[in-house]
A and B are shown apart, each in its own frame.
Chain A
Amino acid sequence: MAYTQNDFKKGQPRWCPGCGDHFFLASLHKAMAEIGVDPWNTAVISGIGCSSRLPHYMATYGMNTIHGRAAAIATGAKVANPNLTVWQVSGDGDGLAIGGNHFIHANRRNINLNMILLNNRIYGLTKGQYSPTSPRGFVSKSSPYGTVEDPFRPAELCFGARGHFFARAVATDAPGTIEVLKAAYEHKGASVCEILQNCVIFNNGTHDAVYDKAGRAKNAIYLKHGEKMLFGENNEYGIVQDGFGVKAVKLGEDGYTEADVLIHDAKCEDNTLQLKLAEMEWPVALGVIRDVEAPTYDDCVTAQIEEVKAQKKYHNFAELLETNDIWEVK
């Protein structure tokens, strides 16, 4: 059935004007319309936080649950009902601080969830404390002298948990966001999409380098599987191998030519170079960084049940009872 974004819209969002959540929500509505899964076969599950209000603005099934547990709740929903398309939406606090354990285990198990991580590097709903993605030294209400801890890098956490899909988009970039959301849906297994977004009130400008089109033209690279990793306003830069890592170079300088530029391989099982790409500070890698096929937990659970059903001779409660040592009292 053909859908439009209106088929997925509900209610009036209550986020602050200019919040990245508005942009992301619009892209999600559009992506879902293009994907075409019925709203009644879709569940959007969030935790707690500004961005976790999102399911209230979806005309699908939804749950706005408790802090940090969205991935765990989504896991049960998907495993119990594999026919559902499940989107899990969390902010950086919900997903990586209180919910960090569920985030890594959902990735490790490779449950077929579309896991959205809305990263504004701040706690907005509680009014401005540092988050696990805030940079070291970050000054906030709970760190007036700067934080003394290093942040998580979401891709690193995902890869460390043996994640098979990681993509990144900027909330204000609708085509880029829709593209990664569709790719996340197409990927069977846990698909993490990190959405870079601004918090106008408590962390304004955190993603400024890539937040508008002009910035992205200079400071971001759109990765496409099988294509040369070129970027810049006129594609004058490229990503080349640098020892065990990668670096950005200007073509024509230091003897680098287009022939030296690496071709992006999102399907490569070994995540080493994908991690290097994800962690580049300049340019910021956008698009699908890793997209590798692997057996999904929910499929395997279903398959194992079918396999055991075929093996075992008992298939209902009465037959189960008969598998025990039974005696008769007359």
Chain B
Amino acid sequence: MEIKEKESVVVRFSGDSGDGMQLAGNIFSTVSATVGNSISTFPDYPADIRAPQGSLTGVSGFQVHIGAGQVFTPGDQCDVLVAMNAAALKTQYKFAKPDAAIIIDTDSFGPKDLEKAQFKTEDYLGEMGIDPDRVIACPLTTMVKDCLADTDMDVKSMLKCRNMFALGLVCWLFDRDLDIAFNFLKEKFAKKPGVAEANIKVIQAGYDYGHNTHSSVANVYRIETKNKVPGRYMDITGNKATAYGFIAAAEKAGLKLYLGSYPITPATDVLHELSKHKSLGVTTVQCEDEISGCASALGASFAGALAVTSTSGPGICLKSEAMNLAVIMELPLVVLDVQRGGPATGLPTKSEQTDLLQALFGRNGESPMPVIAAASPTDCFDAAYAACKMALEHMTPVILMTDAFVANGSGAFKLPNLAEYPAINPPYVPEELKGTWTPYMRAENGTRYWAVPGRQGFEHILGGLEKDDKTGAISTNPENHDLMTRKRQAKIDAIPVPDLEVLGDKDDAELLIVGFGGTFGHLHAAMDEMRAAGKKVAQAHFKFINPLPKNTAEVLKKYPKVVVAEQNMGQLAGWLRMKVDGFVPAQFNQVKGQPFVVAELVENFTQLLNK
């Protein structure tokens, strides 16, 4: 056996949706992150609640990329594939590198399993062209049962531990310290010590099995850690980081956090997370529909809370009416759109960037609204904080965009120190304006003042009808409407956002790669690969989409070739062309519901360079 030192390795756990692959993957990434590896994860689960057992549509996957240095994506293809049944091998093998090690549970490759997975013969490895030398074939189910034979568990409960055997085996393969996994399980099953104990036993058995039969595989991998930024870290998903960002912003602003929401994949975890934290005073209302989620949040905003509503694209359709009301009432509101595949119900569990134009324009009337897009799971924290700050300080609804990939994926999150974050100062109406104040009186930067109910002398009415600039009364005066429209637009245009940063060969790049939101990691990895191959390439990634950074035109026009790569049909490219005179970029568009594949990006961009 050879111990291979590697820069990075990708592991993909796959099995039936009921096989606990997400948990196994999560524990493995936590264990790896704890020893200081950089991690990036990607859960890839089916939309079906529970597809028939062993069927091709019921396969659930969890991919984790661990690296010595920084990793930016969960990886295109895996070095190790765990396939808990025949259907998993059939559907997931395409994600494996040609020399990947493959772990299978031979107990789940019986005639019936093979039939369900639509294998034609019993030689399933041959059928798929897999070299048997690369396969760790173990009777995993049998061994799990044997391992737990001396407990009083029933067979069904025993089988729930299969994922832990696979995890133990992978931990051995990567030379991982099992104690970290044990602690994780003890914590997770604190109220069910029996379950924790059984799982721990099975992990150990999986590890020992690997250790004892190691001659059957070629390598054990070791990922050392380098380029570490000292500090304290935790593993965090994008949705959790988003929820944390809201909590942090509310605390900084000294406001109650109110979430009005309705469950929708893939945004629901934000509702789950915030519902837990009542000890921080967080108020969550699971509303009767998406409309009410947004409308009630707007009511909460009027009443003086930091108001948030969370959803995905189909929910944005329903919320757009109340979002528009927030625009004309000029009240702070954060609308989270965790994008998924569309249109309509589309691909509920898959990732796309197809809501950008909806976020920018999907409302009646002239309805400008800031749009911010998070670049990675951990960036969701900063993006959420920025969205709240912007909404509160500029008295406007703000759309915060993430996507299924970023929301469900995770990364190592350096614990933020809230004291280092910028203050949040909403423009509360100054007491000295009592008597002369009207609702649409503006501060110097064009922002309306906030008069929260409970303050004597500032009673006022807001509403969906156009108001007179001076008196705040309903007005249909043509000049006034034109003026108010311009003022609402100017207010958004004047919001300061950070300049667009150029990474890579910023002085002499021949190609600039442009994207927004959750594709940052893949585009960055593509740039790195191209530069390693001697090409001159730079990257500019948009987090602030409306208003655009001030240096946008300057950056976009600086390089001989620009490609805008996005998971839609060209929405960012279109927005940039609208905003930057004469800008005509090349485009790379893919709408597959899956993350970009770095190799495909590199191939495409290289062709573009050579053209």
Contacts and interface: CB of A to CB of B under 8 A. Distances in A.
Interface stretch (B143-151, B286-294, B493-501, B562-570): B286-294
A64 to B, nearest CB: 3
Contact of A63 (B225, B235, B285, B463): B463
A155 to B, nearest CB: 21
Given A77-B302, A327-B36, A63 B232 contact: no
A280 interface: no
Given A63-B463, A317-B251, A326-B232, A76 B456 contact: no
Contacts of A301: 283, 285
A39 B453 CA distance: 9
Interface in B178-237: 183-184, 187, 225, 228-236
A316 B280 contact: yes
B289 A79 contact: no
Interface string A44-86: 0100100000011011111111100100111111111101100
A116 B2 CA distance: 78
B298 A73 contact: yes
A254 interface: no
A56 B474 contact: yes
Contact of B292 (A102, A308, A311, A316): A102
Contact of B307 (A74, A80, A309): A80
Interface string A305-323: 1001101101111101100
B461 A76 contact: no
A65 B322 CA distance: 9
B73 interface: no
Contacts of B287: 72, 75, 105
A61 B283 CA distance: 23
A15 interface: no
Contacts of A38: 456
Interface string A185-206: 0000000000000000000000
B244 A73 contact: no
Nearest to B455: A40
A320 B244 contact: yes
Tier of interface size on chain A: 35 or more
Nearest to A82: B303
Interface residues of B, number: 72
A140 to B, nearest CB: 25
A305 B461 CA distance: 31
B552 interface: no
Interface in B307-356: 307, 321-322, 324-325, 329
Contacts of A304: 278
A234 interface: no
A80 B300 contact: yes
B396 interface: no
B527 interface: no
B110 interface: no
Contact of B34 (A78, A316, A327): A327
A327 B450 CA distance: 42
Give the most central of A60, A102, A105: most B CB within 10 Å.
A102
B464 interface: yes
B303 A75 contact: no
B277 A320 contact: yes
A72 B318 CA distance: 14
B465 A77 contact: no
A326 B233 contact: yes
Give the most central of B229, B251, B304, B459: most A CB within 10 Å.
B459
Given A40-B459, A64-B465, A317-B418, A77 B303 contact: yes
A307 to B, nearest CB: 8
Given A40-B454, A63-B302, A101-B289, A308 B295 contact: no
Given A317-B280, A328-B231, A330-B230, A79 B285 contact: yes
Given A73-B296, A105-B288, A329-B228, A81 B453 contact: yes
A183 B105 CA distance: 69
B461 to A, nearest CB: 4
Interface string B32-44: 0111100000000
Contacts of B436: none
Contact of B258 (A66, A76, A317): A76
B49 interface: no
Interface in B250-278: 251, 256, 258, 260, 277-278
6 contacts: A40-B453, A56-B473, A65-B295, A80-B305, A327-B36, A329-B233
- What are the 8 closest A-B residue pairs judged by CB atoms, nearest first? A76-B299, A76-B296, A64-B463, A80-B300, A81-B303, A312-B279, A72-B295, A73-B299
Interface of B: 30, 33-36, 183-184, 187, 225, 228-236, 244, 247-248, 251, 256, 258, 260, 277-281, 283, 285, 287-289, 291-292, 295-305, 307, 321-322, 324-325, 329, 415-416, 418, 453-465, 473-474
Given A38-B456, A43-B302, A101-B288, 8 more contacts: A69-B321, A102-B295, A305-B278, A305-B283, A308-B278, A316-B251, A320-B280, A328-B231
